[in-house]
Amino acid sequence: MNKLFVIKVGGNIIDDEAKLKVFLTSVASVKSHKIVVHGGGKIATEIGNKLNIESKYINGRRITDDDTIDLVTMVYGGLINKKIVAQLQSLNCNAIGLTGADANIIPAKKRAVKDVDFGWVGDIDNSKVKSENLKALLESNFTPILAPLTHDEQGHILNTNADTIASSIAVALSTYYDVRLIYCFEKKGVLENVEDDNSVINLINKEKYRQLLEEQKLFAGILPKIDNAFAAIDAGVHEVLIGDANDLIQNTTNNTIGTLITQ
């Protein structure tokens, strides 16, 4: 099976032009099949302020009303996505910018209203992801760059969590490829001691995870990422890696620096 890297990059890199340039240079030098999923960062909030569109959050999650979905479609699907594509083209990486609506790659459902109405926010059913369309692009030597947007099959764009999109396409493509899902963030990996950036736990399997939880060695913020990683592995993804964007090239080898999560 051919190797595929699904690489999720967060807002802290997107917001910083110098960091983004270094990261994209690394992406371009990865020789295997690869897909990049990018978050939105603070750019949507900044442009929204200029357009008098107020950003509203509940429990850290953006409320996507009618004005906001127009805003994030412009910023995520347009400005950020196309800047990334243009930079990758300058590095001889034949990138193609997409949302989940393009080629019907990621149909989603508008989130049902329970306690909070999140507005135009999408939830993904992994079995609906059109993996064959992404595979066709990969086999034609394109590098898909996915914005955190999906669609509801009724003509509406939906704002969708980039971590979730990365996990969903990694699961869907694991039918065809040996997939390593890489979450790039600002730490070297999962740390045994939050105060010590060098205390990276290099390998976590389920047994090790149970042990770390019992010893209460993991900080709360990392738990959802690890839970998502195991959910992806249980659904067919070969490996998930959590690490620093600066270590991307090393983390596509067998000699990883970050935290490799396996069955």
Q: Would the annotation count 62 as a binding residue?
A: yes
- Annotated ligand binding at 111? The verdict is no
Phi and psi at residue 37, to the nearest 5°: -115, 125
62 near 139, Cβ under 8 Å?
Answer: no
The whole-angstrom separation of Cα 32 and Cα 143 is 10
* 3-class DSSP assignment, residue 262: coil
**41 annotated ligand binder:** yes
Q: Identify the three-state secondary structure at position 8.
A: strand
CA distance 137 to 68: 30
Task: With CA atoms as reference, report the closest residue to 236 among 185, 168, 187.
Answer: 168
Using the Cα atoms of residue 81, residue 168, residue 225 and residue 190 in order, give the sign of their dihedral. Answer: negative
Helix, coil or strand: residue 59 = coil
User: Does 40 count as an annotated binding residue?
Assistant: yes
The annotation places the binding site for substrate at 40-41, 62, 159
Annotated binding site: 40-41, 62, 159
